């Protein structure tokens, strides 16, 4: 479907600078813009591409002031990044809705299936499952006994949800996500072997949570591992047993959180972060990529970096000295040589 710059501006409460009749039927990155596509500019680092892009229409912030000639039509909006997100969401909503249950799916007769549900090929819906309205279950998804899934949730191919877990409304679980696998619980024995501790809890994922591909959320030994509403998890994340992640926290790829740790609300965790078990991380904490958190963070809105992590500004100052260590070592050697020469001269 084609849209004009004027229609886009009207939808976004923006204004057109150029041809309001310019049409687009696809989107593109501004540095790879093609005729008939819509691009956006929000990061000043990409401004140079605006003057050469072949995109027909580009979204820009309302206060943007070009420094060169522009051949495309601009649509000025309050926030170009939020505007493109809104348009992409609209595009997704305009796709034909998936509905119906595949004849190749296995749906237990005791399962309760809501209205307008899609269940793809070779999906398995076990005994006692309750699936809310408008849930989309893609091919080869496994849903164990007594699982609850809220309305408007999407489970992409290969998702596995173990028995007894609860998934809220408007959640998105990407391909390969595993929810409710056993926590890593083993008791050491006198003969150096380990006895497995049964993991009898579950996982509770609240509303509007997104979990990236191949991430794993372990069930609690007792009680629940809890992912609070609005949490966004990237790909390849490990959340161990009995962890709780507070609302609206975002965590980047390859992060691991050990058992029984409580991460607060509104936190931001960079990629490849490791957090040891039985810790508390305060609300609003920011943890830089590749940091190792080995102690409680009790003060809200703290920024930490390093392994073991500590206060961000102190880390930055320390790192400046760390990079100078070779030169400092050379100076120290020279001083030692000078002192030794002075000592010998005095003898």
Cis bond leading into 308, ω under 30°?
Answer: yes
Q: What is the CA radius of gyration of the chain?
A: 27
CA angle, corner 272, sides to 266 and 276, nearest 5? Answer: 75
Cα-to-chain-centroid distance, residue 258: 18
**Residues in contact with 248: Cβ distance below 8 Å, sequence separation at least 6, in sequence order:** 228, 229, 230, 231, 265, 266
| Six token digits for residue 24 | 């687009």
Angle at 38 between CA 34 and CA 40, to 5 degrees: 110
3-state SS class at 87? helix
Active-site residue (options: 130, 138, 241, 278): 241
Chain centroid offset of residue 331 CA: 46
Is 130 labeled as catalytic in the residue annotation? no
Cα separation of 42 and 279, whole Å? 38
Q: How many C-beta atoms surround the C-beta of residue 138 within 10 A?
A: 19
Residues taking part in catalysis: 241
């Amino acid at each position: 479907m084609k849209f004009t710059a004027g229609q886009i501006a009207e939808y976004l409460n923006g204004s057109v600078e150029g041809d309001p009749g310019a049409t687009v039927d696809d989107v593109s990155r501004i540095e790879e813009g093609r005729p008939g596509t819509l691009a956006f500019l929000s990061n000043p680092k990409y401004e140079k591409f605006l003057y050469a892009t072949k995109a027909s229409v580009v979204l820009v912030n309302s206060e943007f002031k070009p420094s060169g000639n522009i051949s495309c039509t601009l649509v000025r909006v309050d926030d170009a990044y939020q505007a493109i997100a809104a348009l992409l969401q609209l595009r997704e909503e305009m796709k034909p809705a998936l509905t119906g249950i595949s004849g190749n799916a296995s749906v237990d007769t005791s399962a309760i299936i809501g209205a307008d549900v899609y269940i793809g090929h070779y999906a398995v819906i076990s005994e006692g499952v309750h699936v809310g309205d408008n849930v989309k279950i893609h091919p080869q998804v496994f849903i164990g006994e007594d699982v609850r899934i809220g309305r408007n949730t999407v489970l992409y191919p290969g998702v596995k949800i173990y028995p007894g877990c609860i998934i809220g409304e408007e959640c998105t679980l990407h391909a390969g996500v595993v929810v409710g696998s056993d926590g890593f619980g083993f008791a050491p024995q006198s003969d150096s072997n380990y006895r497995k501790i049964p993991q009898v809890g579950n996982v509770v994922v609240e509303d509007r949570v997104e979990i990236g591909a191949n991430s794993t959320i372990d069930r609690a030994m007792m009680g629940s591992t809890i992912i609070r509403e609005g949490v966004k998890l990237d790909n390849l994340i490990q959340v161990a047993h009995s962890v709780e992640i507070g609302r609206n926290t975002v965590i980047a790829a390859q992060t691991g959180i050990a058992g029984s740790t409580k991460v607060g609300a509104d936190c931001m965790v960079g990629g490849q972060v490791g957090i040891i078990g039985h810790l508390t991380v305060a609300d609003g904490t920011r943890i830089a990529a590749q940091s190792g958190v080995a102690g409680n963070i009790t003060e809200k809105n703290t920024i930490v970096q390093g392994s073991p992590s500590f206060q961000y500004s102190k880390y930055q100052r320390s790192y400046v000295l760390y990079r100078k260590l070779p030169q400092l070592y050379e100076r120290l050697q020279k001083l030692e040589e000078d002192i030794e020469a002075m000592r010998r001269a005095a003898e």
